[in-house]
A and B are shown apart, each in its own frame.
Chain A
Amino acid sequence: MNFSVLLVKILEYMFVAGWAGTVVVLVLTFVEDAGTLLDRKDENSH
């Protein structure tokens, strides 16, 4: 396995693992965002 292939493999693992974690980030932040949007008691939208 030459260096280029190794580098590509590492980048691929990083990208896939990164996206897997990012999906969790997105789910958790969307749940929190829904709460932020529903909580309008101190909203100031001038």
Chain B
Amino acid sequence: MSSTSNSPTGSNRVRIVVATSVMLTFISYWRAAAIILNDLGSSAFYACGIAEQAIGKSAPWFVLGVMLFAFAVRAVYVESCSMFVRGGVYRVVKEALGGTLAKFSVSALMFDYILTGPVSGVSAGQYIAGLINDTIAIADAHGWIPVAIHHLFNGTPQVGVNGASVLFAVAVTLYYWWENIKGIEASSEKALWVMQITTVMVVMLLGWSFFTLFKVGGHLPPFPTLANIHYSQESLGFWKHSKLPHMFAILGLIIGFGHSVLAMSGEESLAQVYRELAHPKLKNLKRTAIVIGVYSFLFTGLVSLLAVMLIPDDVRTRVYSDNLIAGLAMHMVGPQVLRLAFRAFVVVVGFLILSGAVNTAIVGSNGVLNRVSEDGVLADWFRRPHKKFGTTYRIINLIVGLQLFTIIVSWGNIYTLGEAYAFGVVWSFVFKTISMLVLRYRYKGERMWKVPPNFHIFGVEIPIGLASVGMVLLATAIVNLFTKSVATVSGLIFSIVFFAIFTFSEKVNRRKHAHTAAQMQEQFQLQQAESVARETVGIRAGNVLVPVRDYNTLNHLRWVLERTDTHEQDVVVMTARISQFGAAAYGLSTEQMFSDYEQTLFTRAVSVAESVGKKISLLVVPARDAWSAIAQTAHNLESSGVVTGLSSKMTTAEQAFGLGSAWEAIPEPKRQFVLQIVQLDGIVDTFRIGPHTPTMKNEDVVLLHRLWLNLTREPGLENVHHHDILTEALTRFARDYGARDREDIVKELRRHGAEGGPLPVRRIADQVHTVQPGPARADRDVGASGAKGDGAK
């Protein structure tokens, strides 16, 4: 075998270095909060409407109670993250209660994740359909609808709200299905942007609502007493014919709380973003928790309260129960056109945040199923990458299939969807909190923070705070089992089916993995390393890094090997094991990092090396995104070049830009390197990553030379160099850009960028005349570099 063989045993097995530290780009707590609020904040659009349908007009108090309680649930998450960097439900439950309950808890979590999509999509559809209907009704009232159309519809034309919501939810789900199949990046930038727009809406909504209250007055909703809780037929589930809910006041509170608990869905995202939080991690996690806590309390909690105070009862329950914020917008003081315009703004924001939640549901479910698949409890068949896009398309298809099924079966009934949704939310929290309680006694590792208060009796710790949160959750979850019959039946069926699939897959995989492990034992030797370093991989500086992903497209590896003398320069073949958003919450062992797929990939890479007769080193790197992994690995290994194939989704310039951006995120000091992208037809594009001399066009060089000729004829400037002129020009450019001419400069560059043409160098050059034409003087500068591309930065 021609590849590296540094086995201490002297065998000819190929050594593969498996790095265990994920290469992440870190984000601020504001961005982390924005990502979580995209999920958590979306529930403001439907939570109170669903709760009011179940328990009556006192629902906003329960929603406020849930939002307050969510602070305590967040504290549980902060403690779990202070113990495990990947402190999500699966990891914590597995650590505390073992694999069986972990599989059950992850099934409940999947139920929560999968239902997030349909609930959000249908809710967005309800808001849009409601806006269309009300706009038509207003137009009709003004006589703007032609009589013929009026006759055609036997009255005011209206769209069927539930049917339209189903259509919309299906369309949005299919759109994000395709985006996820292609492999879109989860962007904190986009999440921040959505939250900025949402914040504008929330501030306007609260400000206008309080002004309306001041002008027209309003009454607080009835306080949550047994007399004020009015159960609907569906809200008592299996207790429909029982006297119990009418006998016990506190039971009424638990039922109301249980019907409102869906307002705090999305907390799991806190554990998922923790890995990506910048230093100091724990403090930033607490800040994130505070931001999302205050925001969701004000948004979901206060808006629910104001909606019930300002919208008249009959209209609210009859027209706006499924689009409460739209109803609130229509019941402010002010001209109708202004209210309608604000309602349209509410619908746009709702569309953005709720559609984002549909995507989060797919990305999160995909992440969780990827993780359990890596743990051997879901057949490897599911994780087989898409031939063109490299995504786990089978898992995505399964998730989206289940979501579409749910949307169609519910036929736009947001109440049923919301009720079912609460099952997953509350049970995943119950498992998590009970596990954290168990870990207070079983876990002996580092724990940077604990949910207060805690007492010690005879040296035994009594975690009062954690136990209290657990008791509220468990009582609510048990009562929900009786009062939410649809949720109980569908949730249990779903969880049992998933649990069975996990258990069966685990058994099949155990046998299969034993066989694979034996095969791997013969061919590869895995060496675990905390981080990527030149010494660990056993290579010299100035090596060539070759990222690989798809075993069908390794022509760039062949291209490198054919042109490199591996005695002089090492070639490192690396693959990045991408931890997706949801999966980032969970840890991976070495064997999980190097799965069936990586084995096939490296077997092919080794065959290519053998066919060329060259030596390669192999490396697996876990990462949040591929570009960060490549940039950081090249930096750590002191590589002089990176050679990659052409992406199916990007142009060479886009690939170079992606890598260049990741390189920018690496802290100084860092070294530059060359990126070569080998296309299928053998054409190679070369880019320099990092600051470098740009390629100068001939016209630029002529202009520079003319300026130099002129300047050197000025008294006292005989010794000016070409580079002095460039320095002066760039200094002036930077000054202008930083001050008065910024807008003009940006506009000009943008115009030329859009036209795709060169900047008007020739036009300016024509205006520069040499003062005294004469024999050209010998230039004291070395000419500009003629390297091929400069598209990287």
Contacts and interface: CB of A to CB of B under 8 A. Distances in A.
Interface of A: 4-5, 7-8, 11-12, 14-22, 24-26, 28-30, 32-33, 36-37, 39, 42, 44-46
Nearest to B280: A42
Given A18-B471, A18-B475, A44-B278, A29 B464 contact: no
B468 A18 contact: yes
Interface in B279-304: 279-280, 283-284, 286-287, 289-290
A11 B251 contact: yes
Contacts of B279: 42, 44
Given A12-B254, A36-B287, A45-B30, A25 B469 contact: yes
Interface stretch (B69-77, B265-273, B520-528): B69-77
Contacts of B242: 4
B248 interface: yes
B478 interface: yes
A5 B244 contact: yes
A37 B69 CA distance: 20
9 contacts: A5-B244, A18-B471, A26-B68, A26-B72, A29-B75, A29-B451, A29-B452, A30-B71, A33-B289
A29 B71 contact: yes
Given A5-B244, A11-B479, A42-B280, A19 B472 contact: yes
B690 interface: no
A42 B253 contact: no
Contacts of B97: none
Contacts of B468: 17-22, 24-25
Given A37-B290, A46-B28, A15 B471 contact: yes
B329 to A, nearest CB: 31
Contacts of B465: 21-22, 24-25, 28
A33 B244 contact: no
Nearest to B257: A15
Interface in B459-490: 464-465, 467-476, 478-479
B786 interface: no
A33 B248 contact: no
Given A15-B254, A22-B72, A42-B280, 14 more contacts: A5-B244, A15-B257, A17-B471, A21-B464, A21-B468, A22-B465, A24-B465, A25-B75, A25-B451, A29-B75, A36-B290, A37-B290, A42-B279, A44-B279
Nearest to B78: A29
B354 to A, nearest CB: 27
A11 B28 CA distance: 41
B453 interface: yes
B471 A25 contact: no
B208 to A, nearest CB: 28
A22 B284 CA distance: 23
Contacts of A12: 248, 250-251, 254, 475
B475 A15 contact: yes
Interface string B240-274: 00101000101101100100000000000000000
B294 to A, nearest CB: 9
A28 B467 contact: no
Contacts of B46: none
A15 B261 CA distance: 14
A32 B278 CA distance: 20
Contacts of A18: 467-473, 475
B29 interface: yes
Contacts of B478: 7, 11
Nearest to A21: B468
A26 B71 contact: yes
B287 A29 contact: no
A19 B464 CA distance: 11
A23 to B, nearest CB: 9
10 tightest A-B CB contacts, nearest first: A21-B468, A18-B471, A18-B472, A12-B250, A25-B465, A28-B452, A15-B475, A14-B475, A14-B471, A11-B475
A18 B433 CA distance: 13
